[in-house]
Structure 1
Amino acid sequence: MKRILLACSSGMSTSLLVTKMKTHAEAIGEEAEIWAVGQDQVRKEMAKADVVLIGPQMSFLKGELQQKAEKYGIQVDVIDMQAYGLADGQKVYEQAVSLMGES
């Protein structure tokens, strides 16, 4: 099972994206736990994740979050801005899977 954590300023703008990513994962027959939190919770939640994707508005935190994520052996990246704006669940799911070193 893939565990994908999304984070944005409040956790609200990524909720639609979570739904679309779950729909895509189900459509391709993959099991995935995908959830969203606000930036104040991401440091606590990342221990449960295989990868962390952050909203473009949080890109300034990428370095700090990646440094913390290293102790869990996971990657942190900024969600592709166009995919984020379009709430493209498939593209963001594929970005997360790619960061996990899977195809």
Structure 2
Amino acid sequence: MINIILICAAGMSTSMLMQKMKDSAEKRNLDISVLAMPEGKLDSYKENIDILLLGPQIMYLEDKIRGIYEEKGVKVAVIDMVDYGSMNGDKVLDDALLLLG
């Protein structure tokens, strides 16, 4: 299973995107878990993370989060602003999977 975490300022808008990504993964028969949370809760999350996607509104935290999580083998990226704004779950999921190679 691939574990994807979406983080944003409050976790609200990423919750909608999370559901669209889950729907996309289900249609494709992919074994993927997607979870959304506010950035402040990330430190207390202890489960395995493969991909960590940041909402565009917190892109200023990218370097800090990369520094913490990439050394643990987690792929980190900022979600494209257009895809985020249009809640394009298919495209965000595609971009996330590309991170894994």
Report Cα offsets for 1:27-72 as digits up to 9, x if no partner: 0110111000101012333752101000000000000000000231
Task: Name segments (4+ residues, structure 1) moved above 4 Å.
Answer: none
Mind listing any 5+ residue stretches in structure 2 that lack a counterpart? Answer: none
Contact 1:43 1:65 in 2 (8 A): no
Opposite residue 16 of structure 1, the aligned amino acid is: M
TM-score (norm 2): 0.94
> Would the alpha carbon gap of residues 46 and 71 (structure 1) be closer, same or farther in structure 2, given more than 3 Å must change?
farther
Matches within 5 A, 1:68-83: 68-83=68-83
1:98 is aligned to 2:98:
yes
Residue identity over aligned pairs, in percent, reads 37
Q: Secondary structure at the match of 2:7?
A: strand
Q: Which residue of 1 aligns with 2:14?
A: 14
What's the counterpart of residue 60 of structure 1?
60
Q: Deviations over 1:45-102 (max 9, x none)?
A: 375210100000000000000000023111211001000000000001011111122x
Gaps of 5+ in 1: none
TM-score scaled to structure 1, two decimals?
0.92
Give SS of 2:45's match.
Answer: helix
The 8 Å contact of residues 14 and 36 in structure 1, kept in 2 or not, is answered as yes
Number of the residue aligned with 2:5: 5
Aligned length: 101
Q: Secondary structure of 2:36's match? A: strand
Q: How far, CA to CA, are the matches of 2:72 and 2:36 in structure 1?
A: 18
